[in-house]
A = this chain, B = another copy of it.
Amino acid sequence: MDLTHTADEDAFRAEARAWLRAHVPHPPPPSLETAEGFAAHRAWEAELHSGRWSVVAWPEQYGGRGADVFHWLVFEEEYYAAGAPGRVSQNGIGLLAPTLFDHGTQEQRARILPPMASGEVVWAQAWSEPEAGSDLASLRSRGVRTAGGWLLSGQKTWSSRAAFADRAFGLFRTAPDEDRPHRGLTYLMFDLKAPGVTVRPIRRLDGKPAFAELFLDEVFVPDEDVIGEPGQGWRIAMSTTGNERGLMLRSPGRYLAAARRLVGLWRATADPSDTALRDRVADAVIGARAYQLFTCAGASRVAAGSAIGAESSLNKVFWSEYDIALHETALDLLGAEGEPADGRDGWSEGYVFSLAGPIYAGTNEIQRDIIAERLLGLPKGRR
C-alpha cells in the first residue's frame, strides 16, 4: 500500500509543469460557453497538441504519449494546478475516443482522432431527447437505411457545446420493431453543419449557450460513420461507461486545485476565528484529498486488472455534491462580491456550472439507486 510516484512519473510531472508554466494563458480566456471563448479554447487545444499534451493517455500514433492512469493523474494535477483552461474537447476525448478505441475501425481512428487531438474538430454528444432524460432506453430519434448510409431524423437535446462544436455522436433507433427498447439502437457520428441539421442553442441559468437542441431532418450519414455493428449501439455505449472512465470523468487534480484556490481566498478574506467558514473550507480540503485517494485506489485496482463498475456511481455523487459545496463556500467567502454574475476569479460561473453536476451524466437519484441495488444488494423497488 503505497502512494509514491515512480521516477518516470516524477520526470513526467516536471516536464508537464515546465511546459504548462510557459504556455498557460494569463489572464485565462473568456468562458468557453461563448463564441469568443470557444475559439480561444480551441486555439488552446491546438497549443496543447503542439506540445503533445492534449491527449496524454492516447497512443503516440494519434498524438498522445501512451500515459497510463497514474501518469494521467499526474498530468491532471499539474494541469489544474497551473490554472490551465477548461477542456473544450472533453466530450470527444472522454466519451467518443474510448468508444473508437474499443469499437471503431482502424480507418475511423486514423481519420477522427488526430483532428480531435488538435482541436480542429470539436465534438458534441447527442444522447438525450426531450422524452428520454435518465431513461435512455426510450430514445425515439431514428436512422433509416439508405444507399451507402443512414438518414437520421428526430430531435436531440442537452447537447453540451453543440452551439459551437463541429460534429456530434449519439444513439439512433434503426430497428424500431425490436421488442426490447434497448435493442435496435445504432451508434452514429454526424456533422453539425450537414444539410438537415438545425442547431438551436439553449441558454443555461447564467444565459450562456452551454448546450443546444438538435433537429435532424433526413441527415445523411455514410456507413463509415457508424461505430460497431448497427443495432448494437446500446451495448457499445454502455461498455464504455463502466470502465475507468468512471474515474476519469472528473480528475482529482481539478478539485485539488479548486480547494487550494478556496484556501487562498479564505486566507485572504476571512477572519480565521470564524469557525463556521473555516470548517467548510477544511471540508473542501478534506474532500479533495479524499477524492484524490479514492481515485488512486481505483486506479490501482484498474492497474491490477480489475474493472470499475457500479463504483463509479459513488464517484459521481461525491464529486457533484462536493463541487457545489465548494462553490457555495467560495461565494459565502466573497460576500457581496459573490453576487455579480461575472464575480471574482470565475467563482460565480463555476457555481452555475457546478449546479448541473447532480443532474447530468445520470442524475444523482439514479446513481443512488444503482449504489443501493448493485453495491449494497438491496432489493429492486419501483423507485
Report B-chain residues with C-beta under 8 Å of the C-beta of A273. 273-275
Using Cβ atoms and an 8 Å threshold, which residues of chain B touch A274?
Answer: 273, 275
Taking a contact as CB atoms closer than 8 A, the residue among B277, B381, B382 that contacts A275 in the complex is B277
CA–CA, A273 and B272, complex, Å: 10
A279 to B279, CA, bound (A): 12
Cα separation A265 to B382 with both chains bound (whole Å): 47
- Chain B residue with the shortest CB-CB distance to A273: B273
Is A268 in contact with chain B by the CB < 8 A criterion? no
In the bound complex, residues from chain B placing their C-beta under 8 Å from that of A275 are: 273-277
Which A residues between 276 and 302 are near B, CB-CB below 8 angstroms? 276-279
Q: Chain B residues near A381 (CB, 8 Å)?
A: 382-383
Assembly CA distance A279 to B381 (angstroms): 39
Nearest Cβ distance between residue A61 and chain B, in whole angstroms? 53
Q: Whole-angstrom distance from the CB of A248 to the nearest CB of chain B? A: 36
Question: In the complex, which residue of chain B has the Cβ closest to the Cβ of A280?
Answer: B276
A228 to B279, CA, bound (A): 58
A271–chain B nearest beta-carbon distance, Å: 8
With both chains docked as a complex, state the minimum distance between the C-beta of A364 and any C-beta of chain B, in angstroms: 18
Q: How far in angstroms is the closest Cβ of chain B from A149?
A: 44
Least CB separation from A275: chain B residue: B276
A210 to chain B minimum Cβ distance, whole angstroms, is 31
Within 8 A of B (CB), among A340-383: 381-383
CB distance from A383 to the nearest CB of B (A): 8
Query: Nearest chain B CB to A5's CB is how many angstroms away?
Result: 37
Query: How far does the Cβ of A285 sit from chain B's closest Cβ, in whole Å?
Result: 16
Looking across the interface, which residue of chain B has its beta carbon closest to that of A381?
B382
Q: Give the shortest distance, in Å, between A3 (CB) and chain B (any CB).
A: 31
Task: Give the residues in chain B near A383, CB-CB below 8 Å.
Answer: 381
**Cα distance A383–B381 when bound, in Å?**
8
Of listed A274, A277, A279, residue having the most chain B CB within 10 A: A274
Q: How far apart are the CA atoms of A378 and B274 in the complex, in Å?
A: 42
The interface residues of chain B lying within 8 Å CB-to-CB of A382 are 381-382
* Shortest CB distance A378–B (Å): 13
Q: Which residues of chain B have C-beta atoms less than 8 A from A276's C-beta? A: 275-276, 278-279
Give, as a whole number of angstroms, the nearest-CB distance from A262 to chain B: 17
Q: In the complex, how many angstroms separate the beta carbon of A284 from the nearest chain B beta carbon?
A: 15
Chain B nearest Cβ from A369, distance in angstroms? 14
Of A274, A275, A277, A382, most buried by chain B (CB within 10 Å of CB) is A275
Min CB–CB distance A279 → chain B (angstroms): 5
Cα(A277)–Cα(B279), bound, Å: 11
- Complex CA gap A383/B275 in Å reads 40
Contact with B along A234-276 (1 / 0, CB 8 A): 0000000000000000000000000000000000000001111
Report the Cα distance A276→B276, complex, angstroms.
4
Q: Please give, as numbers and ranges, the residues of chain B lying within 8 Å of A278 by CB-CB distance.
A: 276
5 CB-based A-B contacts, threshold 8 Å:
A273-B273, A273-B275, A276-B276, A276-B279, A382-B382
The 4 closest A-B pairs by CB, nearest first: A275-B276, A276-B276, A382-B382, A273-B273
A residues near B, CB below 8 A? 273-279, 381-383
| Beyond A273-B275, A275-B276, A276-B276, 10 additional pairs, beta carbon < 8 A | A273-B273, A273-B274, A274-B275, A275-B275, A275-B277, A276-B278, A276-B279, A381-B382, A381-B383, A382-B382
